[in-house]
Amino acid sequence: MTMNNQGRPSAVGTSENHELPTISGDRGLDHEEPLIFEIGRDGMTGVDLPDVQMSETRLGGMRRRKPIGLPGLSEPEVIRHYVRLSRMNYAIDAGLYPLGSCTMKHNPRLNEKVARLPGFGDLHPLAPQSTVQGALELIGELMMWLTTLTGMPAVAMSPKAGAHGELCGLLSIRAAIAARGEVRKRILVPASAHGTNPATAAFAGFVIDEVKGTADGRVDMVELEGKLGPDVAAIMLTNPNTCGLFERDIRHMADATHKAGAYFYCDGANFNAIAGRVRPGDLGIDAMHINLHKTFSTPHGGGGPGAGPVVLSAALAPFAPLPLLVRDSRGFRLIEDRDELPARAKPFGRMCAFHGQMGMFVRALAYMLSHGRDGVRQASEDAVLSANYILASLKDVMSAPYGNGPCMHEALFDDSFLEGSGVTTLDFAKAMIDEGYHPMTMYFPLVVHGAMLIEPTESESKESLDRFIHVLRELALEAIAKNTVRFDGAPRYAPRRRLDETAAARKPVLRWKRKDLPQAAE
């Protein structure tokens, strides 16, 4: 080995013994991290609070008798623990996140900053309305943006996520039908729908009737019209649909639906393809939820919180849930009870306590003001352009069932190119992890065999797209050549290898338990 004159090696040496197990079990920057319960100690705390002794309490004899069992840690220990955990996660800030139907776009940090302004973040939901006028103005402003972008007259702001918004939309429809003195039980849902659609419809007390798709990935109009009838409450459709395609016959569908006395619910998960270019209101839609955490970039946060405001047509607007926001000479006002309703309002009920996901509202409005109408339209165009670029660049090696025409903001592939290779969609996706990418959405939509749904969003540079395309092409070619070494047992370089999900479900372990204590209570 080459040394300098302090005896220090001056060459990097070789990197054999790469797989040598370490003494610590950690590997360089990859740390194994125990559970917080395994590193805490009794009596320690990371928050200094005065120790108030109480000579008398007013707890009515309901004081806790036994310790809770929470571990004690100092602040540096807690910070190190969660920083180490964070490093085991993939994130949009760290790489392309091509999850179709999930719209993992860039989350601007300005939005985080403004959501924390005390005038938004440090407001109590039941503080006197005269003291929260700025917050009500923000909600009013966001409502204006949402109704203008969708061309719909009204919006219900309280739903806390997309599925919650779907429920809000269906309950509005249910109330509108009841107000007509009718009973309609069936909801038509295309086979390609998101799982939440049939789940929500069933939850709202409807019977689900599935509508088949056509060979070109769209709703079968003949079947749809055949199923429409006096017991159909609504059709529930995603547009652009989950195959990444625009439903060309959408207006015809809306007309047929309305003619049958039913309502048209649109799942707005894919609004990012058309925002600023097409107004759902112009298409004849009666209700559509908007995932603020998709189209308007509020962070996904490892699975929430989201927000799912629902825009409503004139026919459904009167049935929007409480609370309602109105503006009069005294300023903005929340109507929280049926006793003070404006004319025509017949709210079906309440979706949740208080007024909705304010923290998400602030972020979404910051996104909108930053983009403006021109930026929103550019975002949709770039999202669609990027998806088509991926489709065009990969469809000669990966099979694209609807690859003959353009897609919208997501490109759909199936597993026919893997046929006979011994590589499954799952293997292919897991090999992407070793290449530094989060997998695309897999096995959804259900109407395509071994589906792989790629949504690049508008947030990627051309260089980033080219690199992604290169990696996928090479992987596809290796799979086709039956070079399965990269796929067998992938991923190899992630914090964990494939996890045993069957074992997890067979004997569920859902919490840590102190091993040295008898579990008498359990």
Partner 1 sequence: MRYHPLTPDDRLTMLERIGVTNVDALFRDVPQSAVVPLSAFDLPDGQGELEVERALSRMASKSVAAGAGPFFCGAGAYRHHVPAAVDHLIQRSEFLTSYTPYQPEIAQGTLQYMFEFQTQVALLTGMEVANASLYDGSTATAEAVLMAQRITKRPKAILSGGLHPHYSETVETMAELSGQVVRAKATPGKPDDVIALIDDETACVVVQSPDVFGLIRDLKPIAAAAHARGALLIAVVTEIVSLGLLEAPGLQDADIVAAEGQSIGNGLNFGGPYVGLFATREKFLRQVPGRLTGETVDAAGKRGYVLTLSTREQHIRREKATSNICTNSGLCCLAFTIHLSLLGEEGLTRLARLNHAAACALADKLDKVKGAQVITPTFFNEFTLKLSKPAANVVEALAKKGIIAGVPVSRLMPHDPAVRDLLIVAATETNTDEDADAFAKGLAKVLS
Site for partner 1 in 331-370 (CB under 8 A): 336-340, 348-360, 362, 365-366, 368-370
CA pair distance 37, 345, nearest whole angstrom: 52
The letter for the amino acid at 93 is D
Stretch that binds partner 1, among 257-265, 416-424, 473-481, 497-505 (CB under 8 A): 497-505
* Minimum CB–partner distance for residue 6 and partner 1 (Å): 39
CA pair distance 337, 339, nearest whole angstrom: 5
Q: CA angle 373-118-128, nearest 5°?
A: 100
Structure tokens that stand for 245 in this block: 């395609």
55-76 b/e with 16+ CB inside 10 Å = b? eeeeeeeeeeeeeeeebebeee
Q: Does 37 bind partner 1 (CB under 8 A)?
A: yes
Binds partner 1 (CB under 8 A): choice among 184, 186, 371, 486 = 371
* Minimum CB–partner distance for residue 373 and partner 1 (Å): 4
Binds partner 1 (CB under 8 A): choice among 26, 116, 314, 422 = 116
Q: Does 292 bind partner 1 (CB under 8 A)?
A: no
Three-class secondary structure of residue 225 per DSSP = helix
9 or 304: CB nearest partner 1: 304
Stretch that binds partner 1, among 62-70, 229-237, 311-319, 415-423 (CB under 8 A): 62-70
Contacting partner 1 within 296-315 (CB under 8 A): 299-307
16 or 339: CB nearest partner 1: 339
Q: List the beta bridge partners of residue 187.
A: 208, 234
With beta carbons less than 8 A apart as the criterion, state whether 265 and 235 touch.
Answer: yes
310 or 362: CB nearest partner 1: 362
The letter for the amino acid at 301 is G
Contacting partner 1 within 228-267 (CB under 8 A): 245-246, 248, 250-251
CA pair distance 429, 314, nearest whole angstrom: 44
Q: Does 389 bind partner 1 (CB under 8 A)?
A: yes
Q: Does 106 bind partner 1 (CB under 8 A)?
A: yes
| φ, ψ for residue 492, nearest 5 deg | -105, -30
Q: Does 326 bind partner 1 (CB under 8 A)?
A: no
388 or 425: CB nearest partner 1: 388
Q: Does 179 bind partner 1 (CB under 8 A)?
A: no
Q: Does 491 bind partner 1 (CB under 8 A)?
A: yes
CA pair distance 208, 202, nearest whole angstrom: 7
CA pair distance 477, 407, nearest whole angstrom: 23
Q: Does 435 bind partner 1 (CB under 8 A)?
A: no
Q: How far is CA 388 from CA 109, 307, 408, in A?
A: 28, 28, 7
Sign of torsion over alpha carbons 243, 244, 246, 250: positive
- Count of residues near partner 1 by CB under 8 A: 207
75 or 474: CB nearest partner 1: 75
With beta carbons less than 8 A apart as the criterion, state whether 229 and 260 touch.
Answer: yes
Stretch that binds partner 1, among 49-57, 228-236, 260-268, 312-320 (CB under 8 A): 49-57
When computed from its CA atoms, the radius of gyration of the chain, rounded to whole angstroms, is 27
Q: Does 515 bind partner 1 (CB under 8 A)?
A: no
| φ, ψ for residue 362, nearest 5 deg | -65, -45
Per-residue contact flags (x/-) with partner 1 for residues 7 to 36, judged by CB under 8 A: -------------------------xx-xx
* Minimum CB–partner distance for residue 95 and partner 1 (Å): 10
338 or 419: CB nearest partner 1: 338
Per-residue contact flags (x/-) with partner 1 for residues 438 to 467, judged by CB under 8 A: xx----x-------------xxxxx-x---
CA pair distance 106, 299, nearest whole angstrom: 8
* Minimum CB–partner distance for residue 230 and partner 1 (Å): 22
CB contact set of 207 (below 8 Å; sequence gap of 6+): 185, 186, 187
* Minimum CB–partner distance for residue 229 and partner 1 (Å): 20
DSSP β-ladder status, 232-238 and 263-267: parallel
Q: Does 141 bind partner 1 (CB under 8 A)?
A: yes
Stretch that binds partner 1, among 3-11, 260-268, 276-284, 476-484 (CB under 8 A): 276-284
Stretch that binds partner 1, among 9-17, 45-53, 225-233, 260-268 (CB under 8 A): 45-53
With beta carbons less than 8 A apart as the criterion, state whether 393 and 141 touch.
Answer: no
With beta carbons less than 8 A apart as the criterion, state whether 344 and 374 touch.
Answer: no
Contacts 24+ apart (CB under 8 A), 60-68: none
Q: Does 60 bind partner 1 (CB under 8 A)?
A: yes
Q: Does 137 bind partner 1 (CB under 8 A)?
A: yes
13 or 21: CB nearest partner 1: 21
